[in-house]
Amino acid sequence: MTTTDISGTVPATAGHNLNALAVPPVPFDTHHLWTNWAGNQSATPAFTVRPRTEQEVVDTVRFAIKEGLPVRAVGAGHSFTPLVQTGGILMDLSGLSGITGTDPALRRVRAKGGTPISAFGDPLWEQGLALSNQGDIDKQSISGAISTGTHGSGIELGSFSSSLRWVRLVNGHGEIVEIGEDRLHELRAAQVALGTLGIFLEVELQVVDSYHLQERITYPTWEETSATWDADIADNRHYSFLWCPGEDSAELYELPTPAGERMTGRSYTKRYNSVKLNEATDISLEEGSRRDRSYRIYPGGFMIPFHEMEYYVPVEHGKEAVERVQDLIRTTHPDQKYPMEVRWVKQDEGYLSPFAKRDTTVISVSGAPGTNYWPYLRDVDAVLQDFDARAHWGKIHFMTRARLEKLYPELDSFLQVRREFDPNGVFLNDHTRALLG
């Protein structure tokens, strides 16, 4: 069984025969230390490039092919897994940013590959459009979010990947390729590809008519959460909760809680539903009952780093799986205090999508940076394997190639596309090669 090291630092130019005279044809840094948001992944690539144009991306990929250097793309660096590490060329796409077009009739938007999610809100709203859903933050790049299956919560709402309708990318042959709905096989591979098909230059997403949201925050006991489980999932556009195993749990995620309330065993529960608002009179910024445009309601804070693992179980097993993890914390890991976040995602068709063909309950747990949380995360992994859990590609997980073969019925379809797009593995690193090589 092939395993993948998820906690390492990649040394500069590891395993590559660098010709000292060959340098990228675009401005670059050499041996610049890169670290992800959470601080648990780092690398020192031979070259870090920040292309500003499509041509600079193409030129860099062609240079890499010629010199035998691997390339990895980085968006906002918000993944907890070693997805972007490389000893070759790290391509920071943050300079390739901005909305490039909207089609209000078809409800579509196009944006450059490095555009942050936060940059979609205002321009879409001006066209009467909005992203159909968003996650806990809006700092990620759109390509990073798509590439890992990033999602919000709502049983009728799919992930960012599921909204991808077209992508323009540079593949491992150094060619620009456009994949739309007329190339469904390749589109389903591109919908979650971990950067292994090439560099996304521009993407087109399905969006929806603009909408306002009404927030309702409550603090139920577990018995109350359990009693209204099915109705809450079905009746709310967005339903999610953060269950607190201890009194100090809420502050670890900076969750506002009612004064004097004991949070042990309670949840910080979010319900967001569409509401018609007159913006002149109806906007409310009151914590716990905000009313505002959708894109102003979704994103939260998360300033204090944590190390997160997130697994996905079929929706019909959601409650049992959550209760098994609660029991594990109480009986075996009472020192683990981070809230458990529980969300829902609608099924989709992406070959590597963790939501492929199954409506999903999302369970995430976190460890404190600087502590040995590995026994806890491994035990959660073991418990959730009983439910055929898949994992968030961008959060800590213990997936192996053997496990992927069991969990992803379309894995071979994905691998076929990956090998066509990048037969020489230009866009692989050790982590992705072990899983998808």
Give how far the C-alpha of residue 110 lies from the chain's centroid of Cα atoms, to the nearest Å. 19
Rounded Cα distance between 241 and 73, Å, is 32
Is residue 151 at the binding interface for ligand FAD, with CB under 6 A as the rule?
yes
Is residue 268 at the binding interface for ligand FAD, with CB under 6 A as the rule?
no
Binding mask 9-38 for ligand FAD (x = CB under 6 A): ----------------------------xx
- 48 vs 143 by CB, closer to ligand FAD: 143
Is residue 346 at the binding interface for ligand FAD, with CB under 6 A as the rule?
no
Is residue 309 at the binding interface for ligand FAD, with CB under 6 A as the rule?
no
Is residue 77 at the binding interface for ligand FAD, with CB under 6 A as the rule?
yes
The piece of 9-17, 42-50, 137-145, 323-331 that touches ligand FAD (CB under 6 A) is: 137-145
From 187, 199, 242, 380, residue interacting with ligand FAD (rule: CB under 6 A): 199
Residues 84-103, interacting with ligand FAD (CB under 6 A): 84, 93
Binding mask 317-336 for ligand FAD (x = CB under 6 A): --------------------
Amino acid at 43: A
Q: Which two tokens stand for residue 132?
A: 């159909």
Shortest Å, Cβ 199 to ligand FAD: 5
Is residue 147 at the binding interface for ligand FAD, with CB under 6 A as the rule?
yes
Is residue 140 at the binding interface for ligand FAD, with CB under 6 A as the rule?
yes
From 61, 83, 352, 396, residue interacting with ligand FAD (rule: CB under 6 A): 83
Is residue 203 at the binding interface for ligand FAD, with CB under 6 A as the rule?
no
Shortest Å, Cβ 106 to ligand FAD: 23
From 133, 143, 162, 225, residue interacting with ligand FAD (rule: CB under 6 A): 143
From 26, 74, 119, 365, residue interacting with ligand FAD (rule: CB under 6 A): 74
Residues 384-423, interacting with ligand FAD (CB under 6 A): 392, 394
Is residue 154 at the binding interface for ligand FAD, with CB under 6 A as the rule?
no
- 75 vs 367 by CB, closer to ligand FAD: 75
Rounded Cα distance between 135 and 123, Å, is 19
Judged by the rule CB under 6 A, the positions of this chain that interact with ligand FAD are 37-38, 72-79, 83-84, 93, 113-114, 135-137, 140-141, 143-145, 147-148, 150-151, 194-195, 199-200, 302, 392, 394
